[in-house]
Structure 1
Amino acid sequence: MLNTAPTAPRPLAVLVKRFPKLSETFVLEEVLGLERLGLPLCLYTLAPASDELVHPQVAQVRAVVVGVPARLRDAPGAFAWRHARLLAGAPWRYLRALREALRAGGPGARAFLRGGWLAAQLQDDRAAHLHAHFVDEPADVAGVAAVLAGLAHSLSAHAKDIYLAPPAALTRRLGDASFTVTCTEANRAALQAAHPQAVVRRMYHGIDATLFHPAHRTSPALVPRLLSVGRLREKKGLDTLILACARLQRQGIGFTCDIVGYGEQQAALEALIDQHRLGGHVRLLGKLNRPQVLQRYAQASVFVQPSRVAADGDRDGIPNVLLEALACGLPVVATRVSGIPEVIEPGRNGVLVPPDDPAALADAIAALLAHPGQAAALGRAGRATVLEHFDNTRNLQTLIGLLETLHAQPHACAAH
């Protein structure tokens, strides 16, 4: 595929906003999966890592991470030299990319500046192809860099980057890319509607089912433990979970609930817990790394994914934590939002309820706690679903196949 040199394969370049990022385990899993499959990678970031806590698996990544300077004043000499080199090497290509960028105004000019820096780096690193995660800022920078470097580029689309993007910008980004992959069928349909001629393929995220395994589960606790993991933001619906917990408490059902995550709704959720006097039942645990989250999966009785579509249109795709919980054999209660029904088949491998419905969520949780045999059967079926449809190595063949098809075409890079 990318092995165009007889002795040293040219690497696949991957552009992300930040790496590593605690909440973006799907990027980490993709990078590790591609490296396990033998692809040499170069990783580029648009912003420095901001999480003090990191997953231990980050240490397994072999690719060197290179940061793209954010502003001209951060590296004026490097920007000037790299852009001058690109202009001298391919003046018409450079001027065409500049003209297109300027049409987009300020964001286009910034993307052109950073894209030029990245293009020169791609040439120095002998990259064969550029793949960018998120169809917002990284897509703009990747589009410029690919043109200036004479490469094809592709995109991975996820959630917020799709549903909060200006329609015209989203259409342009999809059209500029050789292809786009996305993690749910719901996303694929939305992207295809935005640009019917674009090449868009569904590629489910995959997880390591040997790491997330029922063998790690501990004996059931005397008091059932609910678990939810995710950023503390509107689309996660964690206020609905807290209200459901209040109903369970009023019904005299014994339980505890751990919520793992961080974000802008921390204070509001703490206030809601206090308002309903749930301090002895519901805990906000903050940031945890993967071994710590694995411990929570091992101790949990039921996993809850109460996602919703936020007021601004933001939504989940298929949360990786949902797949992790299923792989661990946990019974799951989730909501009918976005790509979640592509995973959960009610009554077979989990329970689905409407979003923003604390009563329905509480009733579903209570039913699972009251019928542990049924809950265990759902957990076993949930793991089987992950093994069949969400294996990381198998799902990455979609991306590899698209790359192989593209680069088997004569002049594939030059055409884009």
Structure 2
Amino acid sequence: MRIVVFNHSFFYLSETFIYRQVAGLPKDVSATLLGFDFANEKLFPTTNSRLKLNRPLNIVNKALNRVLPSVIKNKMGFDLFNYFKVKKYLLKAKPDAIHAHFGFNGRDIFPLARLLKIPLIVSFHGVDASPQMLKNQEYKNAMRNMINYASAIIVVSPHMIDTLEISQWKNKTYLIPYGVDTGEFIHNVERGNKKQITILHSGRLVTKKGVPDLIRVFINLEKKIKNIKLIIIGDGQELEASKDIAKQSTADIEFLGAQTQEAVKKYMSLSDIFVLNSRTSENGDMEGLPNAILEAMSMELPVVSTFHAGIPQAITDGINGMLAPERDNAALEERLEKLIIDDAMRVSMGKVARNTVQSEFTIDKMNDRIAEVYRSI
């Protein structure tokens, strides 16, 4: 079976789930990667063939796109040169299906898929299914036209079915959450009674991650509880603001910037609590089900997060982790404090968390289900 996998960019550190899906395809599925950028190739090696698209930078291309009527450009999806480049490739390769990651990428390749009568599979991951994006009527109409044509729609969280309003297409909608390699994400350091408790955040420092508020909460905790540390992994638009807040106190807060998956795994192994203060941002950006949460759970780290998007799909509050309402700093502080002062709770909750991942969120389950979708086309 021949599949074309389309994403504007492969393989950013924040999108390791796409690499895992590509690397985990069964032997009878041959995938060509179609995209504008291919990053971190040494970290994420693949043997897949690739078709690299060109950014529309040259003067001729820009001029042609300016004079084309918008109705024609909307029907093309890509800029002029890439449109014909992709069309030529698809006509020659004759793939059995195209799998587009993110709704906006599905929108771009949908015109060619329809023109050439190629089945289209679209995976939604979070921001592409956010209410704010869907407030844009042009985007919403494009999604509905694309979904109507698509052979399969994959969502990582049940809430996306509601935000996308796709219940009428439930016969071709598949809920496939991200999966973790539990053999890779396994801790070998004993946790329990320690002199210092380390809390770890790993994720981009963007509004939906709530890092500035997390730092404020930690500063309050440090006034009550000594020997605690907060490690922040990730970079992004809120990094400098977060550092400025941290500088206003003497709390032990360390910023490590973006890190490789191996480094993140190491810090998870050495930490005692994982925290992700997720919320819907002002522009409507939302999570799906953050992969970092599943990785932490697999490492037997108790997770403190929020009742946001797909997170409650993995975490049951008080059982295998703790959840606070979005933007409720007092509730987040209370849940973190409970885990900081209770060694036994941290250990037991971490074990239940790993059991949850092993039973419901493994990489093998994810890849098997995606392969089933491919074969159903």
Q: Same fold (TM over 0.5)?
A: yes
**What is the deviation of 1:217?**
6.0
Structure 2 residue 363 is matched with structure 1 residue 378: no
Indicate which of 119, 124, 140 corresponds to 2:92: 124
Q: Does 1:42 align with 2:32?
A: yes
- CA separation of 1:119 and 1:148: change in aligned 2, threshold 3 A: farther
- For 2:32 and 2:290, the matched residues in 1 are separated by 26
Task: Show the counterpart of 1:399.
Answer: 370
Match of 1:367 in 2: 338
Q: Report the AA paired with residue 140 of structure 2.
A: P
Q: Secondary structure at the match of 2:232?
A: strand
- Is contact 2:77–2:107 with CA below 8 Å preserved after alignment? no
Identity, in percent, stands at: 23
Q: Which amino acid aligns with 1:206?
A: G
> Given the superposition, is the C-alpha separation of residues 143 and 195 from structure 1 closer, same or farther in structure 2, using an over 3 Å criterion?
farther
The equivalent residue for 2:129 is 162
Which residue of structure 2 aligns with residue 414 of structure 1?
none
Per-residue deviation, residues 145-173 of structure 1 (Å, max 9, x unmatched): 21343311110011111112432222222
Offset at 1:13? Answer: 0.9
1:29 and 2:1 matched: no
Q: 1:104 to 1:187 in 2, by over 3 A?
A: farther
Displacement, 1:218?
A: 7.0
Q: Is the 8 A contact 2:17 2:291 kept in 1?
A: yes
Q: Does 1:141 align with 2:141?
A: no
Inter-CA distance 393–104: structure 2 relative to 1 (3 Å threshold): farther
Q: Using a 3 Å threshold, how does the CA distance of structure 1 residues 268 and 208 change in structure 2: closer, same or farther?
A: same
Q: Aligned pairs, how many? A: 364
User: Does 1:341 find its partner at 2:308?
Assistant: no
Aligned residue in 1 for 2:244: 271
Partners of 1:382 and 1:244 lie apart in 2 by 24
Instruction: State the alpha-carbon separation in 2 of the partners of residues 55 and 189 from structure 1.
Output: 39
Q: Distance in 2 between matches of 1:375 and 1:218?
A: 8
State the match for 2:200 in structure 1.
227
User: Alignment partner of 1:24: what SS?
Assistant: helix
Q: Distance in 2 between matches of 1:19 and 1:217?
A: 36
Gap runs ≥5 in structure 1 = 3-10, 81-100, 407-416
How far is 1:38 from its partner?
4.2
| Offset of residue 251 of structure 1 | 1.1
In structure 2, relative to structure 1, the CA distance for the partners of 1:147 and 1:172 (3 Å cut) is: closer
Whole-angstrom distance in 1 between the partners of 2:115 and 2:237? 38
Deviations along 1:285-330, whole A, 9 cap, x unmatched? 1110011111100110100011001111111111000000000000
2:163 paired residue number: 190
TM-score (norm 1): 0.81
The answer to whether the 8 A contact 1:237-1:308 is kept is yes
Helix, strand or coil: the match of 1:23?
A: helix
2:168 aligned counterpart, secondary structure? coil
Work out which of the residue numbers 55, 60, 78 in structure 2 matches 1:70: 55
Relative distance call for 1:38 and 1:229 in structure 2 (3 A) is farther
Computed over aligned residues only, the root mean square deviation of the Cα atoms, in angstroms, reads: 2.4
Quote how far apart the aligned CAs of 1:34 are.
Answer: 1.1
Q: Is the radius of gyration larger for structure 1 or structure 2?
A: 1
Q: 1:16 to 1:334 in 2, by over 3 A?
A: same
8 A contact 2:191–2:347 mirrored in 1: no
Q: Deviations over 1:233-275 (max 9, x none)?
A: 0001112210110111121332111111111111111111123
178, 183, 200: which one aligns with 1:210: 183
Contact 2:192/2:346 (CA < 8 Å) preserved in 1? no
What do the CA deviations read for 1:65-118 (whole angstroms, capped 9, x no partner)?
321223284897xxx9xxxxxxxxxxxxxxxxxxxx966465555526334321
Q: Distance in 2 between matches of 1:162 and 1:215?
A: 38
1:17 and 2:8 aligned: yes
* CA 1:159–1:248: 2 relative to 1, 3 Å: same
Instruction: Tell me if the contact between 2:193 and 2:343 (Cα under 8 Å) persists in the aligned partners.
Output: no
Structure 2 partner of 1:304: 275
1:325-351 deviations in Å (ceiling 9; x for gaps): 000000111100011111111121011
Q: CA deviation at 1:395?
A: 2.3
Query: Contact (CA 8 Å) 2:102, 2:122: kept in 1 or not?
Result: yes
**1: CA distance, partners of 2:166 / 2:161:** 10
Q: 2 CA distance for matches of 1:221 and 1:43?
A: 47
- CA separation in 1, counterparts of 2:255 and 2:41? 19
CA contact (8 A) 2:121 2:153 kept: yes
1:259 aligned onto 2:249: no
Q: Is the partner of 1:283 in helix, strand or coil?
A: strand
In the alignment, the residues of structure 1 paired with residue 232 and residue 86 of structure 2 have an alpha-carbon distance, to the nearest angstrom, of 39
Superposition TM-score, scaled by structure 2 size? 0.89
SS state at 2:128 partner = helix
Structure 1 CA distance for aligned equivalents of residues 28 and 188 of structure 2: 29
In structure 2, the residue corresponding to 1:154 is in which secondary structure?
Answer: strand
Whichever residue aligns with residue 66 of structure 1, its letter is L
What residue ranges of structure 2 are gaps of 5+ in the alignment? none
Asked if 1 retains the 8 angstrom alpha-carbon contact of 2:77 and 2:110, the reply is no
- Deviation of 1:64 (Å): 2.4
AA aligned to 1:288 is Q
1:394 CA drift (Å)? 1.6
Deviates more, 1:145-154 or 1:173-182: 145-154
Deviation at 1:220, TM superposition (A): 6.6
- 2 CA distance for matches of 1:311 and 1:135? 20
Residue deviations 1:121-144, cap 9 Å, x none? 1233342211100001x1123212
2:213 counterpart residue number: 240
Question: What SS class does the counterpart of residue 5 from structure 2 fall into?
Answer: strand
